[in-house]
Amino acid sequence: MTGMTSSERPLLNRRLAEFGTTIFAEMSALALSTGSINLGQGFPDTDGPVEVREAAVLALREGRGNQYPPGPGVPELRTAIAAHQERRYGLSYDPDAEVLVTAGATEAIAAALLALVEPGDEVVALEPYYDSYAACIAMAGGTRVPVTLRPDGATFRLDLDELRAAVTPRTRLLLINTPHNPTGTVLTRDELTAIAELAVERDLLVVTDEVYEHLVFDEAGHLPLATFPGMRERTVTIGSAGKTFSFTGWKVGWVTGTPKLVSAVRSAKQFLTYVASGPFQYAVAEALRLPDTYFTAFREDLRAKRDLLGTGLADAGFKVFQPSGTYFVTTDIRPLGETDGFAFCRALPERAGVVAIPNAVFYDHKDAGAPYVRFAFCKRTEVLVDAAERLRKAFAH
């Protein structure tokens, strides 16, 4: 930037220039100004279990977590995270050396990438990707290499040959997300096996975002990448209380991995927030110990909501990609005679009184994402019934 005075220089640096605005702000504003039902941003419209909320109140009253908690997280929560991984997946982690509490999964992603990526390293990520991935790879000075999930019948699938071809000698890590936002794809055992074999063969690190681990609608349930052969020692697994317990504002997330990996991630994390969410950490420790009935009821509730909104969208004429996980449904708008998801989502509030998100915002290959639109179904049943009715009225004939 030689020859430019300070005031001529763009304020936002080059690494972040492409991430100037987020679609969520624009769409949420549109929802407000048009009185539309907001199925754009993915947060529940009811809070999680009352006993978990009360546990936070109690911690706050008793002065647990009101001052800086320990850097790695409060021991009660680290122990509960380790017990959860053991009980659900048979993965054993030492709560002291192999568990790190973060300010949501968002900080876990940022800290993992800032810690593990050297400028110039390539990071292979599934496209469409959660919006913070691209920004965090950029902040770490890495180069993102998207591998596009392709529509295949009623789902989006990973092309394993494309994935293998994306790995070069400069590849440092694979950034995986299963269950996958925004497509609702859950990677199969065969796909995960292939990813694991590739990581071992090319000696890659893996960061896997599994925040929707409790929202898998298939019989198989969630398969953590770290359980596959050769993976525990090279995988940073990211979880979060926000999605599982419907307290997205609490921002309690975590990382599990080997002592070396966790210690590397902690090196970055300590200079981001240092610590966060003190009293909430105690409450999440209790939430993780809720009986299986909680997790089953939560999943079944979301399954019914998936089917409710999915049916409404199909009746309205959308092609619906049936999500096997998460609380999002991706649709194809081409059967409605539309091709541009951005234009469609900008017009949708006026046309139907519903807000959705164009999947293209989650793509580098904008064309590949153009005809897809994402709806969130983590809303009260009556809200989804109303939304489905509005969509039917606006589009079905």
Ligand X SMILES: *Cc1c(COP(=O)(O)O)cnc(C)c1O
Residues near ligand X (CB under 6 A) are 104-106, 130, 177, 181, 209, 211, 240, 242-243, 248, 251, 253
Which of 24/335 has CB closer to ligand X? 24
Q: What is the DSSP string of 212-251?
A: TTT-B-STT----GGGSTTTGGGEEEEEEHHHHHT-TTT-
CB of 350 vs ligand X, minimal distance in Å: 28
First CA to last CA distance, the chain: 57
> Position of tokens 């927030």?
273
CB of 213 vs ligand X, minimal distance in Å: 11
Which of 181/258 has CB closer to ligand X? 181
CB of 276 vs ligand X, minimal distance in Å: 10
CB of 234 vs ligand X, minimal distance in Å: 20
Q: Encoding tokens for residue 385?
A: 């019934």
Which of 196/207 has CB closer to ligand X? 207
CB of 287 vs ligand X, minimal distance in Å: 13
- Nearest-CB residue to ligand X? 104
One-letter amino acid for residue 127 of the chain: E
Which of 105/368 has CB closer to ligand X? 105
Q: How far is 225 from 239, CA to CA, in rounded Å?
A: 12
The pairing of strands 354-355 and 372-376 is unpaired
Which of 257/353 has CB closer to ligand X? 257
Which of 247/344 has CB closer to ligand X? 247
Helix-strand-coil split of the chain, %, nearest 5: 45, 15, 40
CB of 357 vs ligand X, minimal distance in Å: 12
242 exposure class (CB count in 10 Å sphere: 0-12, 13-18, 19+): buried
Q: Encoding tokens for residue 275?
A: 């610590």
